[in-house]
Amino acid sequence: MLAEFSPPGTAPSPTSRYEGLRSEYCLSGHPTLPCNVLKFKSTTIMLDCGLDMTSTLNFLPLPLVQSPRLSNLPGWSLKDGNAFLDKELKECSGHVFVDSVPEFCLPETELIDLSTVDVILISNYHCMMALPYITEHTGFTGTVYATEPTVQIGRLLMEELVNFIERVPKAQSASLWKNKDIQRLLPSPLKDAVEVSTWRRCYTMQEVNSALSKIQLVGYSQKIELFGAVQVTPLSSGYALGSSNWIIQSHYEKVSYVSGSSLLTTHPQPMDQASLKNSDVLILTGLTQIPTANPDSMVGEFCSNLALTVRNGGNVLVPCYPSGVIYDLLECLYQYIDSAGLSSIPFYFISPVANSSLEFSQIFAEWLCHNKQTKVYLPEPPFPHAELIQTNKLKHYPSIHGDFSNDFRQPCVVFTGHPSLRFGDVVHFMELWGKSSLNTVIFTEPDFSYLEALAPYQPLAMKCIYCPIDTRLNFIQVSKLLKEVQPLHVVCPEQYTQPPPAQSHRMDLMVDCQPPAMSYRRAEVLALPFKRRYEKIEIMPELADSLVPMEIKPGISLATVSAVLHTKDNKHVLQPPPRPAQPTGGKKRKRASDDIPDCKVLKPLLSGSIPVDQFVQTLEKHGFSDIKVEDTAKGHIVLLQEAETLIQIEEDSTHIICDDDEVLRVRLRDLVLKFLQKF
Amino acid sequence: MDPECARLLPALCAVLADPRQPVADDTCLEKLLDWFKAVTGAGSSLLLLQEHPCLVELLFHVLKPQDLSSRILSFTLRLAGIFAAQENCFQFLQGDPSLFVASAAGQLLVRVLDLALRGPAEGHVCPQAWDWPACARKVVCHLEDCLRSEAAPRVTQALHVLTTTFGHCHGLWTQGLWARLSPLVARLLEKDPVPAPHALVDLLLSVARSSVLSSDPGLWETAAQALSRLSPTQAGPLAAGILKLQDCPQALRIQAFRILLQPLAHVLEAAAQGPGAPRLLEGAAGDLMAVDTFPPSRSACVGLLCSALAHLELLQPLPQRPSPWPQAPLLAAAVTILRFCNGSAAPSSEAGSRLCTMLVGCVRVQRAALDFLGVLSQGLGPQELVTQVFAILLEYLVSPDSSPTVLKKAFQATLRWLLSSATPPGCCDLEPYAQLVLGELLAVLQKRLCSPCWEVRDSGLEFLTQMTRRWGGQGSFRQALLGSEVPELTRQLLQDPESYVRASAVAAVGQLSSWGLLAAPSRPEHPDVPQKTPLEELLLVLTTDSEGFPRRAVMRVFTEWLRDGYADVAKDPEQSVAPVLQAASRDLDWEVRVQGLELALVFLEQLLGPLGPSTAAPPGALTQALQALCRVQLFEFALRSLFDCDRPVAQKSCDLLLFLKAKATPSGSQQEVGDGPNVASVEAALRRWQAGEQGQPLGELAPETVLAVLRSMDLEALRDTLAESSDHVERSPQSLLQDMLATVGVLGDNEADCY
């Protein structure tokens, strides 16, 4: 029996790894926003539920304030001048964008019946953004497991996303361009966008709430039983508040699921590596997206460029998520601004969830790194952004409307979303500051290509700096981790098994392990490489009482058992066999067959080995002569030439081959048995 | 030896010989040895031993097997070595586990050999083994046994002894010794693996450097054999040593140079994209790659590359460096290594991919390669390669991944290449390409000056200071600099939280403003705030900065400004110097006070002319100068400093006053000056200062009073007293012996109490 591991949608097949590989399903998976399904011991487990938002880069930004520039962009027409798409597609500096509500590329929902998924395990708040699509629209009836910070911050991210999109209602919804025949005529990257027909608009707050209500909260190292067959356990992964890796194990098999993890000392609790040891299979996802960028260097670069711009009288825009790296950036800036003489520069954090995010971060003490935890007992706020807020250096607002417009002072630094630059308050600042070369936009989130993000704002005078800060594991750290935890097999997205396409010589930028990692890609099914060899079986006490163990070697005893195997809810129990019904009624005529019991009399079991020399001596003692011994590949042949008899001794069998002389055979058999233990 | 020491010596020897009286401190034994060295250097050691039998007793005493501490044993052996006597000592204890004892015993063996063989060899060309004294034969047999031994520590020990022997002794007898032992050494090279490779290399180099032995052709054969038998890592130091020799066979030099070039050649081959790429070594590419130059482990590979780079770096400036020097391929190799390290090399070969994986992000190799690249700027290179050099340097300067130490090296190498790219040689203008680079450099510098890492800001400022010093007067540099934010950022860094950075900013501001590159910027947002002049800003640092480094830097800048006639200072030197001297005289940091006196000296020289054969200043100028000096209150500062608790300050002040005295008193004509009442009060104040009372100010001084005080003071005697180190009493041998006896004397008392 094989355990199966499949990205969603593919019918699991134990026979071929590549059965699910058909060209129409061949979408590029997103290794940092995973969504995989693991079939393991009759349970179906979805691992993470990431939402690929890069599809939104094909859409025009949603401006908060009417933007004449965006609304006056020329419509796009085909080469032959046909302009039937000019309402849906707009052209900006040589790029074509869809003028519609942005849409997201969902995980595959067609290829596997997602209503069969028993549980969903979430590893961090970035990897749950597709949850409402799965729980609300697929017939899913199972349970979702996640830690409390993951749920709370995940809710904030979803709330922000919904808010960003809903507060700029857009009447138009473009669909003509998705027609396959038309899409072929479009310029890149629209032409190459995959599965556009399945792209969906953003969910609603109602769906978010319903999805989140299906989540059951768990704590690190908590053991959760699934149907008696499997136990799942979240472990700290060191990447974000409440982020986890998962152990999925039965009595004899262990699968580790490593999602976004970090070994750097940032704000979350450090990664638990020890518990990942002794895994049969380790599924490795969520590594750093920019393996060549060292987070420390990037933070330095971020600070230098920020200071340079502000000193020069310019403003700095930092497109970001409302939680995560922003906490660390604020902490770095807290230490840096005084030394760089920037104390008088205001820092603004604008997000519908800015306040909740800053406050949540301070209350999840038990999920923080040790240093921050100890602060709570002083008592001090674990993050220094509390002090920045107190001293009015950091101010936060739900949006650019309202109080912000009264307080707004330049030059300043603004942290706001969304990092795709397609919706959120960031759109307004891009429009406002884009024309001046004094200003700088600094990209710190690694999820989007900054060049693509900037495309609808071209031509742009403001400076652009790319400092992606991705604290997730890099390949050197992975290599150390794998050496440390030594899984029997590693399974990872195919992107990790070869150097990045642009740097094909960088053999250091891939997972290097023995045996080589098994790779998978979207819409592919992978048979996990362990065979189940054992099951745990309980023995009922009365049956156990009846056993008579015999010690065959010091410390090893054996007993024969006759029982009925009872299996229910993935638990196996040996019960005493039913007694044969006692004959009732009067005496019946005794038949010969009545002497034979119901069960065949068991022959004793034998164990031990036959020492050939001693056996030969014994034969000689018993009058056999002319004995010859031959060595064979599997043991020995003892030849009794006179008696024309052959005794073939092998590790697990002994044959006496004689010419129809039953007396001789029995004599020889008894001599053989003298050397063996019976029970 | 002075009589007092001679009196103390027997008691000390007794203490040393007594195992119950532990000597607490190794340093006193070291000091004692130093003293004996000085004593034997001054006179006959034989006489010394005769006059002080206690020393001989001590030496004999330690020969007896007993429970002596290893430090005393080591001390005595070394003492014996110093006396080069008691030849039977050597049998004792060479294999002692204590490293110090073993080393001392080794040294003693060398001295014994030297003494034993030097005597009979007088007049002979080269004594034969049978002429050797018994003890020498014994030593040599012992060494032979060790060299034949299978135990690596014994071999190493013997090699060490021989290395010391050939390094220190240059008598003709060493030829005989080498002739006898060299076959055994050569045999070591035939073993696999070669035992004690490092000690073997040391020995061969020591022999090769010996003037007596280097004519032996066998030596060069052994060296060649060693080069081919040792691994590239082990052979590196030998190759480098051979190349530094003045005379050695050309074939061996070629072989040695090849060893050093091999790792770099391998790098070039691994990165080569096709034929025509620069090559370091002849031979088919396949041959080179077939030789597995690089060890499989990353650390060993990095070590090999770093040591090859370091050896070549040291070799480059030497006159005896190999010729022709493969400048172009070496440049290409250095650039390629740096490309491997930052991941920008895109090799197509498997060896290249392997190197890439090993070197990427390796800070050690980056530093070594940048140092080497900097040294290579001394030679010329084809323009195309020079362009590549600047390109890779810029990559490193721009990259956020460059560590602070790597960045510093990159700045240094860039500066060297900029300096070497001035065309024609001697002209201070930058060549057109370097001018192009300059624009990018300043953009990088701008960002680096804002770095959150203070080391980066600091090295950025240092780089700026050096660039400005060299090209501050040059048009294209001035234009580029003034068009950037760099001058303004530099000024802001005067307020940096890190004192080292503030000090570097002070130096940079000094340099920038002396070239007029720190013009007050027009700040539209604060038009009403008057901008401070650099002079005022630095004075503010001097009077308010809490750390010493920035204040010292300010003093250096002011001194430089005054010396070089910086316009703002030159227009009224007295006005500029007065507040600086006042601040410096009150400074708590003695280095600032010394710098203050240095500034005063420069000021004095400018008023009175430099010290020369006709020292005396014309009377009119002298009076004017003295008046100026009184106005800036230089005398109070200088006279107070004479009694400064920090000796360098007092010395500097003494020099200053002596200079003034020489200027004021023409040689040979002693002017008669009566002791006026002012002089008496000054002298009284001086006496109080000398006694440690600092409060009393001198008040206004008249030039005549100053002169009178100067004449009345014996400054020469004061200078001599100050020249003696403050601890000259404590450092006398007499004091040492007394101290040692005093510490063990306590034990003696306790012992008496026990009875």
Contacts of A341 in chain B (CB under 8 A): 492, 495
Could you write out the DSSP letters of every residue in B458-509?
HHHHHHHHHHHHHHTT-HHHHHHHHTSSHHHHHHHGGG-SSHHHHHHHHHHH
Contact check, Cβ <8 Å, B447/A297? no
Pair type for strands A119-121 and A143-147? parallel
Asked if the model's pLDDT at residue B102 lies above 70, the reply is no
As a whole number of angstroms, the distance between CA B42 and CA A538 comes to 96
Contacts of B401 in chain A (CB under 8 A): 292-294, 297
Contact check, Cβ <8 Å, A506/B356? yes
Q: What pLDDT band is residue B554 in, cutting at 50, 70 and 90?
A: very high
Task: Supply φ then ψ for residue B62, to 5 degrees.
Answer: -70, -15
Contact check, Cβ <8 Å, A303/B450? yes
Question: A478 to chain B nearest CA, in Å?
Answer: 15
pLDDT at B47: 75
B525-547 mean pLDDT: 82
- The better pLDDT of the pair B458, B695 is held by B458
In the numeric block, which tokens belong to residue B240?
């480098």
Contact check, Cβ <8 Å, B352/A505? yes
As a whole number of angstroms, the distance between CA A73 and CA B311 comes to 64
B501: nearest CA partner in chain A: A339
Q: Chain A to chain B, count of Cβ pairs less than 8 Å apart?
A: 73
Question: B232 to chain A nearest CA, in Å?
Answer: 26
Which residue's entry shows tokens 């998976």?
A29
Inter-axis angle of helices B327-342 and B250-271, to 10 degrees? Answer: 40
Contact check, Cβ <8 Å, A304/B343? no
- Name the β-bridge partners of A234: A246
Tell which A residues from 294 to 313 touch B, by Cβ distance under 8 Å.
294, 297-301, 303-305, 307-308, 311-313
Contacts of A335 in chain B (CB under 8 A): 452
Question: Comparing C-alpha atoms, which of A150, A118, A152 is closest to residue A134?
Answer: A118
By Cβ distance, the residue of A294, A332, A505 closest to B356 is A505
Q: How many helices (H) and strands (E) does chain B have?
A: 37, 0
Strand order in the sheet with A537-539: A537-539, A571-575, A564-568
Contact check, Cβ <8 Å, B400/A339? no
Contact check, Cβ <8 Å, A340/B452? yes
- Name the β-bridge partners of A646: A639, A657
3-state SS class at A256: strand
**A22-31, A269-278, A344-353, B485-494: range with lowest mean pLDDT:** A22-31
**A336-340, B503-507, B648-652: range with lowest mean pLDDT:** A336-340
- The better pLDDT of the pair B655, A596 is held by B655
Task: Supply φ then ψ for residue A535, to 5 degrees.
Answer: -130, 150
Model confidence over A172-218: pLDDT tens digits?
788 889 998 889 889 888 998 888 988 999 999 999 999 999 999 99
3-state SS class at A679: coil
Looking only at Cα atoms, what is the longest distance across chain A? 116
Model confidence over B40-57: pLDDT tens digits?
777 776 777 778 888 877
As a whole number of angstroms, the distance between CA B644 and CA B592 comes to 13
Model confidence over B226-264: pLDDT tens digits?
999 998 889 999 999 999 998 889 999 999 999 999 999
Asked if the model's pLDDT at residue B195 lies above 80, the reply is yes
As a whole number of angstroms, the distance between CA A280 and CA A257 comes to 11
Pair type for strands A281-284 and A119-121? unpaired
Question: B413 to chain A nearest CA, in Å?
Answer: 22
A335: nearest CA partner in chain B: B452
Which residue's entry shows tokens 């022709």?
B324
A305: nearest CA partner in chain B: B447
Q: Is the pTM of this model over 0.90?
A: no
**ipTM, 2 dp:** 0.73
Contact check, Cβ <8 Å, B447/A303? no
Model confidence over A580-609: pLDDT tens digits?
666 555 454 444 444 444 445 566 777 788
A304, A329, A465, A475: best to mutate for the B interface, most B CBs within 10 A: A304
Asked if the model's pLDDT at residue B529 lies above 70, the reply is no
Could you write out the DSSP letters of every residue in A375-444?
HHTTT--SSTHHHHHHTTSEEEESSSTTHHHHH--SS-EEEES-TTSSSSTHHHHHHHHTT-TT-EEEE-
Question: B312 to chain A nearest CA, in Å?
Answer: 29
Q: What pLDDT band is residue B36 in, cutting at 50, 70 and 90?
A: confident
Contact check, Cβ <8 Å, B451/A300? yes
Asked if the model's pLDDT at residue B410 lies above 90, the reply is yes
A310: nearest CA partner in chain B: B450
Question: Comparing C-alpha atoms, which of A201, A199, A181, A202 is closest to residue A191?
Answer: A181
Contacts of A299 in chain B (CB under 8 A): 452
Which residue's entry shows tokens 């908590």?
A222
Asked if the model's pLDDT at residue A349 lies above 90, the reply is yes
Contact check, Cβ <8 Å, A304/B485? no
Contacts of B497 in chain A (CB under 8 A): 338-339
A381-397 mean pLDDT: 91
Contact check, Cβ <8 Å, A505/B345? yes
- Exposure letters B371-393 (e unless 16+ CB within 10 A, then b): bbbbbbbeeebeeebbebbbebb
A180-187, long-range: CB < 8 A, 24+ apart:
A182/A85, A185/A78, A186/A89, A186/A96, A187/A96
Which residue's entry shows tokens 């203070």?
B454
- Exposure letters A327-345 (e unless 16+ CB within 10 A, then b): bbbbbbbbebbebbbbeeb
Query: Within a 10 A sphere around the Cβ of A532, how many other Cβ atoms?
Result: 13
pLDDT cut 90: percent of chain B above it:
32
Contact check, Cβ <8 Å, B450/A299? no
Task: Supply φ then ψ for residue B95, to 5 degrees.
Answer: -90, 20
CB half-sphere exposure, A50, CA atoms < 13 A: 23
The verdict on A328 touching B (C-beta cutoff 8 Å) is no
Contacts of A301 in chain B (CB under 8 A): 400
A509: nearest CA partner in chain B: B357
The verdict on B353 touching A (C-beta cutoff 8 Å) is yes
**Residue B72 near residue B102 (C-beta atoms within 8 A):** no
Model confidence over A144-154: pLDDT tens digits?
999 999 999 99
Task: Supply φ then ψ for residue A241, to 5 degrees.
Answer: -60, 120
CB half-sphere exposure, B690, CA atoms < 13 A: 7
CA distances from A573 to A569, B442, B595 (A): 11, 79, 92
B641-664 mean pLDDT: 85
Contact check, Cβ <8 Å, B447/A304? yes
Task: Supply φ then ψ for residue A38, to 5 degrees.
Answer: -115, 120
As a whole number of angstroms, the distance between CA A298 and CA B545 comes to 32
Model confidence over A421-448: pLDDT tens digits?
999 999 999 999 999 999 999 999 999 9
The verdict on A507 touching B (C-beta cutoff 8 Å) is yes
Contact check, Cβ <8 Å, A332/B447? no
The verdict on B31 touching A (C-beta cutoff 8 Å) is no
In the numeric block, which tokens belong to residue B340?
């491997």
By Cβ distance, the residue of A311, A336, A503 closest to B452 is A336
Contact check, Cβ <8 Å, A304/B450? yes
Contacts of B450 in chain A (CB under 8 A): 303-305, 307-308, 311, 340
- Across chain A, mean pLDDT equals 86
Task: Supply φ then ψ for residue B426, to 5 degrees.
Answer: 95, -25
**Residues 6 or more apart from B211 whose CB is under 8 A from it?**
B170
Q: Taking CA A344 as the corner, what is the angle to CA A343 and CA A348, rounded to the nearest 5 degrees?
A: 95
Contact check, Cβ <8 Å, A304/B448? yes
Pair type for strands A394-397 and A347-350? parallel
Model confidence over B581-599: pLDDT tens digits?
999 988 999 999 999 999 9
B399, B446, B450, B486: best to mutate for the A interface, most A CBs within 10 A: B450
By Cβ distance, the residue of B401, B447, B492 closest to A297 is B401
As a whole number of angstroms, the distance between CA A177 and CA A174 comes to 7
The verdict on B346 touching A (C-beta cutoff 8 Å) is yes
Question: B358 to chain A nearest CA, in Å?
Answer: 8
3-state SS class at B181: helix
Asked if the model's pLDDT at residue B671 lies above 70, the reply is no
As a whole number of angstroms, the distance between CA A562 and CA A567 comes to 16
Question: Comparing C-alpha atoms, which of A84, A87, A61 is closest to residue A74?
Answer: A87
A504: nearest CA partner in chain B: B346
The verdict on B489 touching A (C-beta cutoff 8 Å) is yes
Contacts of A507 in chain B (CB under 8 A): 353-354, 356-357
